[in-house]
Amino acid sequence: SLTLGIVGLPNVGKSTLFNALTRNDVLAANYPFATIEPNTGVVPLPDPRLAVLAGIFGSERQLPAVVSFVDIAGIVKGASEGAGLGNKFLANIREADAICQVVRVFADDDVIHVDGKVDPLADIEVIETELILADMQTLEKAIVRLEKEARVKKDRKPVADAAKQAQAILDSGRTLFAAQKELDVELLKELSLLTIKPFLYVFNADESVLTDEAKKAELTAAVAPADAVFLDAKVESELIELDDESAAELLESIGQTEPGLHALARAGFHTLGLQTYLTAGPKESRAWTIHQGDTAPKAAGVIHTDFERGFIKAEIVAFEDLVAAGSMAAAKAAGKVRMEGKDYVMVDGDVVEFRFNV
């Protein structure tokens, strides 16, 4: 499955956040046989629709989709030169599907900042610069090789050109992700570049920032097109120890209506280009993870490969239509249940039953 690699400068709250991400009783209860690597945090994607479906179908249990985060050893300035853990760090990032940077916004004189002051945008630039430098090294070598190849094989020319275009973007100080609209991302895939991966920023903030909409809007705009999430890692690590009522009180005390991990799960899911569809029955109501743009047979394949191979059609009702009708039978009577074929592109919130040959 796809993962987000958690990176960040030392002392920004990565371990604190990761601790919250890995302490997940909901998941342990629902996926007892899943092996979860020690450096992986798996969080459920909050989905209030599952409880509604469970009510309609009398489902015994609810299974949300999940998002995986991998803890990547601390980056240091000079990582691209192989300093310290540099090389291992870059290799680990290469394996992640998206980059999730934890950025310190909280003020606390007891916690030392590696660069002496709390400056979120400067911290983002430090990490961005290391990744850009690593990509520039990759491209420098690749371009020499690709130009040679292009001289003998015509179809290598577009790749060589795309690499040179990417190099120019990095030279101007931008990441390839920020410039994705100008690039043919497909052509560059074989080069395993780092800054072409989608970015997500987690601003580790205290109450003063969490309740400051203007400040949050400013930081959000500064990192666009990446997603931005604001949370207090310390509070998140305390929330997971509390019962629902105490957790709600703690959240309210810092002006929040939901745990930051919920927003983080949603943003992580979005950053990875994922979406869900729903199935429901007396046994379980469940959200299944697919890629945005997946067709119905692809979606069926997530449940079982036989479902994809033997796909005939999908019986689909939009979640809202099902809820408005009150039951599957009523939705059918109201003409809200559609039969979709193999070219149908799934829409988030589709409640599905697949028909297939085995």
Task: Pick one of 11, 30, 40, 129: the residue that binds ligand GDP (CB under 6 A).
Answer: 11
337 is in an annotated binding site: no
The full 3-state SS of the chain, as one line of letters, equals CCEEEEECCCCCCHHHHHHHHHCCHHHHHHCCCCCCCCCEEEEECCCCHHHHHHHHHCCCEEECCEEEEEECCCCCCCHHHCCCCHHHHHHHHHHCCEEEEEEECCCCCCCCCCCCCCCHHHHHHHHHHHHHHHHHHHHHHHHHHHHHHHHHCHHHHHHHHHHHHHHHHHHCCCCCCCCHHHCCHHHHHHHCCCCCCCEEEEEECCHHHHCCHHHHHHHHHHHCCCEEEEECHHHHHHHCCCCHHHHHHHHHHCCCCCCHHHHHHHHHHHHCCEEEEEEECCCEEEEEEEECCCEHHHHHHHHCHHHHHCEEEEEEEEHHHHHHHCCHHHHHHCCCCEEECCCCECCCCEEEEEEECC
Task: Pick one of 202, 209, 233, 265: the residue that binds ligand GDP (CB under 6 A).
Answer: 233
215 is in an annotated binding site: no
216 is in an annotated binding site: no
Task: Pick one of 14, 49, 197, 313: the residue that binds ligand GDP (CB under 6 A).
Answer: 14
How many other CB atoms are there within 10 angstroms of residue 153's CB atom?
Answer: 10
Q: Binders of ligand GDP: how many residues, by CB under 6 A?
A: 16
Of residues 14 and 286, the one with the C-beta less far from ligand GDP: 14
Q: Which stretch binds ligand GDP (CB under 6 A): 13-21, 141-149, 170-178, 318-326?
A: 13-21
12 is in an annotated binding site: yes
Residue 41 CB, nearest distance to ligand GDP (Å)? 13
Convert residues 94-133 into a mask of x (bound to ligand GDP by CB under 6 A) and - (unbound): ------------x-x--x----------------------
Quote the tokens at residue 6: 């958690």
Residue 86 CB, nearest distance to ligand GDP (Å)? 17
Residue 13 CB, nearest distance to ligand GDP (Å)? 3
Of residues 15 and 129, the one with the C-beta less far from ligand GDP: 15
11 is in an annotated binding site: yes
14 is in an annotated binding site: yes
- Cα 73 from chain centre: 19
Residue type, 101: Q
Question: Under the criterion CB under 6 A, does residue 21 sit at the interface with ligand GDP?
Answer: no
Residue 36 CB, nearest distance to ligand GDP (Å)? 20
Q: Which stretch binds ligand GDP (CB under 6 A): 6-14, 37-45, 145-153, 277-285?
A: 6-14
How many other CB atoms are there within 10 angstroms of residue 53's CB atom?
Answer: 23
Task: Pick one of 113, 234, 266, 342: the residue that binds ligand GDP (CB under 6 A).
Answer: 234
Q: Which stretch binds ligand GDP (CB under 6 A): 172-180, 226-234, 239-247, 290-298?
A: 226-234
Convert residues 169-208 into a mask of x (bound to ligand GDP by CB under 6 A) and - (unbound): -----------------------------------x-x--
Interaction site with ligand GDP (CB under 6 A): 8, 10-16, 106, 108, 111, 204, 206, 232-234
